[in-house]
């Protein structure tokens, strides 16, 4: 049976470096960090006051007039996904109902969507008056909540916070009627979603798919959660640009942020038939899991990392030394960076000394379910331009890490890139991209 080949034909990225893929790529090439002091709420008492925020946008600019009312049902997670999806589809040249209803060029039933989404916390400011109303003698009173407070909550409140709503809103805007899934594998979600979307096309269930992930992590509850888990740095508040230091000896933890990374996938045949610009091929994918009693961190030997990377290379039918670039997860959490480095080294063998490794979170921050999506967009840009930008903030590699972290920008003809993500809880995911020769 002949392999169905799946390619990337559109890119969309919303990140702390900007609202589109071009801004993200130029920021990355200039080694600029999108990390800054939190502005969306007062972080005065937060041990970590830093984040990679996305703030400057008007969602109404991205939603067709007829659906403007639905913007009331959108949490920031949904909004970021909508912006990135619009860019990816626009970039691909496909015309959906959301782009131009009079000149639709796709069969809606042959389009799929598969997005990674995070655990969405509700808007505290929004629900607070109802909670404050339900107080007796200074304490929250569940009886009063049930009787009165609950009624003050806006009727469609829940719908803003269901993770599947990212895909549902985008599906409605662009009329995507084929298979639809929402992956909730935390920080590994986007790469899992891209892998599964490629499988959906491969098995013939759709011709085109939107895939990736989005998450808005700059939220007091979500950030505090990361602080309590000791995943966030609390020592670099005065130096946002230098705060997140993947694989660096001085790393103290990660910084979290907002993002959406979404790509258009299609069968090579579909792309060629419509003369689309083809960025890259999905050459191989794999997932596994780290098994660790301390499951908020990776197992120290990185076994779950190694399994996914090895299997993805095998799926792509390449040897480790054929890789031209690796974009690792690299959060800046020392124990996890070390375990990831060990896992990648175990998978690469001797090739570990030579394959360039370029972590991005020092600039993009850790954007949860969006991470892998942003990295795939960055990988495609690197491949397109033949450039590997310099890793930021890895000034002294952490002892025992044998990865070849690129400290200076280099020109390079890139044929194969490996993107890798893992998450607390242990899920690991790897995707190998291949340059397509015309």
Partner 1 sequence: MTHKGTTKRVVITGMGIVCPLGHDVESAWAAMMAGKSGVAKTTIFDASTFPTTFSAEVKGYDFRKFTKRPELHKDGNRGTGFVIGATAQACCQAGIDIETDTPSDEIDRLRMGIYLGAGEGSANSDAFFSSIVAGWDDENHRMDWAKWTLAAQSKMRAMHELEQESNMPPAHIAMMTGARGPVRACLTACAAGTQAVGEAMMMIRRGDADVVIAGGAHSMIHPLGQTGFNRLTAISTRNDSPETASRPFTASRDGFVLGEGAAILIMESLDSAKNRDAKILAEVIGYGSSSDAFRITDMHEEGRGAIQAIEAALRDSQITYKDVDYINTHGTSTTENDSIETKAIKAVFKKRAKQVPASSVKSMLGHLIGAAGAAELITCVLAIRDNIVPPTMNLNDPDPALDLDYVPNAPRRCEVNIAMNESFGFGGQNNVVIIKRYE
Positions 123 through 152 that interact with partner 1 (CB under 8 A): 124-125, 127-129, 131-132, 134-135, 138-140, 142-147, 150
Tell me how far apart the alpha carbons of residues 304 and 286 are, in angstroms, rounded to a whole number: 11
Stretch that binds partner 1, among 26-34, 236-244, 290-298, 371-379 (CB under 8 A): 290-298
Closest approach, Cβ 23 to partner 1, in A, equals: 29
203 vs 277 by CB, closer to partner 1: 203
SS in 3 state form for 203-249?
CCCCCEEEEEEEEECCCHHHHHHHHHCCCECCCCCCCHHHHCCCCEC
95 scored as a contact of partner 1 (CB under 8 A): no
In sign, the C-alpha dihedral spanning 82, 87, 91, 93 is: positive
Closest approach, Cβ 212 to partner 1, in A, equals: 15
297 scored as a contact of partner 1 (CB under 8 A): no
295 vs 353 by CB, closer to partner 1: 295
Q: Which of residues 372-401 bind partner 1 (CB under 8 A)?
A: none
Q: Please, which residues have CB within 8 angstroms of residue 128's CB and are 6 or more apart in sequence?
A: none
28 vs 78 by CB, closer to partner 1: 78
Tell me how far apart the alpha carbons of residues 19 and 83 are, in angstroms, rounded to a whole number: 8
Residue in the structure block whose two tokens are 């903030």: 393
Tell me how far apart the alpha carbons of residues 403 and 353 are, in angstroms, rounded to a whole number: 6
DSSP 252: -
Stretch that binds partner 1, among 107-115, 237-245, 267-275, 383-391 (CB under 8 A): 107-115
307 scored as a contact of partner 1 (CB under 8 A): yes
Closest approach, Cβ 384 to partner 1, in A, equals: 21
315 vs 322 by CB, closer to partner 1: 315
341 scored as a contact of partner 1 (CB under 8 A): no
Among 178, 302, 343, 359, binds partner 1 (CB under 8 A): 178
Q: Which two tokens stand for residue 44?
A: 């005065």
- Residue 64 to residues 60, 93, 95, 173, Cα–Cα distance (Å): 8, 18, 14, 7
190 scored as a contact of partner 1 (CB under 8 A): no
Closest approach, Cβ 221 to partner 1, in A, equals: 7
In the chain the first and final C-alpha atoms are separated, in Å, by 23
Q: Which of residues 230-269 bind partner 1 (CB under 8 A)?
A: 230
> x-or-dash pattern for partner 1, window 69-88, by CB under 8 A?
-x--x---------------
Neighbouring CB atoms inside 10 A of 176's CB total: 28
> x-or-dash pattern for partner 1, window 45-74, by CB under 8 A?
xx-----------------------x--x-
Per-residue buried b or exposed e for 381-404, using 16+ beta carbons within 10 Å of the residue's own CB: bbbeeebbbbbbbbeebbeebebb
Closest CA to 51 of 38, 40, 39, 42: 38
Tell me how far apart the alpha carbons of residues 79 and 61 are, in angstroms, rounded to a whole number: 11
Environment class of 155 (CB within 10 Å of its CB; exposed 0-12, middle 13-18, buried 19+): exposed
Among 35, 94, 186, 264, binds partner 1 (CB under 8 A): 186
Closest approach, Cβ 110 to partner 1, in A, equals: 11
Tell me how far apart the alpha carbons of residues 79 and 83 are, in angstroms, rounded to a whole number: 6
278 scored as a contact of partner 1 (CB under 8 A): no
311 vs 397 by CB, closer to partner 1: 311
Q: Which two tokens stand for residue 363?
A: 């600039």
Among 29, 108, 242, 384, binds partner 1 (CB under 8 A): 108
346 scored as a contact of partner 1 (CB under 8 A): no
Closest approach, Cβ 205 to partner 1, in A, equals: 7
By CB under 8 A, the count of residues binding partner 1 is: 108
221 scored as a contact of partner 1 (CB under 8 A): yes
């Amino acid at each position: 049976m002949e392999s169905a080949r799946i390619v990337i034909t559109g890119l969309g990225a919303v990140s702390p470096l900007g609202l589109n893929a071009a801004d993200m790529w130029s920021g990355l090439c200039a080694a600029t960090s999108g990390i800054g002091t939190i502005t969306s709420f007062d972080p005065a008492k937060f041990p970590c006051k830093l984040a990679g925020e996305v703030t400057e946008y008007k969602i109404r600019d991205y939603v067709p007039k007829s659906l403007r009312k639905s913007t009331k049902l959108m949490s920031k997670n949904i909004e970021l996904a909508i912006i990135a999806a619009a860019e990816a589809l626009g970039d691909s040249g496909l015309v959906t109902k959301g782009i131009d209803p009079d000149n639709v060029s796709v069969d809606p039933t042959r389009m799929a969507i598969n997005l990674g989404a995070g655990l969405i916390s509700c808007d505290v400011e929004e629900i607070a008056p109802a909670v404050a109303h339900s107080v007796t003698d200074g304490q929250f009173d569940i009886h009063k909540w049930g009787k009165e407070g609950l009624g003050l909550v806006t009727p469609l409140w829940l719908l803003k916070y269901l993770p599947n709503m990212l895909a549902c809103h985008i599906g409605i805007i662009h009329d995507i009627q084929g298979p639809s899934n929402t992956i909730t594998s935390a920080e590994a979600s986007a790469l899992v979603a891209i892998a599964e979307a490629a499988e959906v096309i491969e098995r013939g269930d759709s011709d085109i798919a939107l895939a990736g992930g989005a998450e808005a992590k700059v939220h007091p509850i979500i950030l505090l959660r990361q602080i309590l888990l000791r995943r966030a740095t609390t020592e670099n508040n005065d130096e946002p640009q230098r705060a997140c230091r993947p694989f660096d000896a001085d790393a103290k933890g990660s910084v979290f942020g907002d993002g959406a990374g979404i790509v258009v996938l299609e069968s090579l045949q579909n792309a060629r038939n419509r003369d689309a610009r083809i960025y890259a091929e999905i050459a191989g994918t794999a997932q596994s899991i780290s098994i660790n009693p301390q499951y908020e961190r990776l197992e120290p030997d990185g076994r779950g990392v190694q399994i996914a990377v090895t299997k993805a290379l095998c799926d792509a039918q390449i040897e480790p030394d054929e890789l031209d670039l690796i974009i690792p997860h690299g959060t800046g959490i020392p124990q996890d960076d070390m375990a990831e480095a060990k896992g990648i080294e175990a998978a690469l063998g001797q090739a570990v000394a030579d394959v360039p490794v370029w972590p991005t979170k020092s600039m993009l921050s850790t954007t949860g379910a969006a991470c892998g999506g942003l990295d795939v967009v960055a990988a495609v840009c690197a491949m397109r331009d033949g450039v590997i930008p310099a890793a930021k903030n890895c000034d002294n590699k952490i002892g025992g890490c044998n990865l070849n972290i690129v400290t200076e920008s280099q020109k390079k003809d890139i044929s194969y890139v490996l993107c890798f993500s893992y998450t607390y809880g242990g899920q690991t995911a790897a995707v190998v991209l291949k340059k397509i020769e015309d």
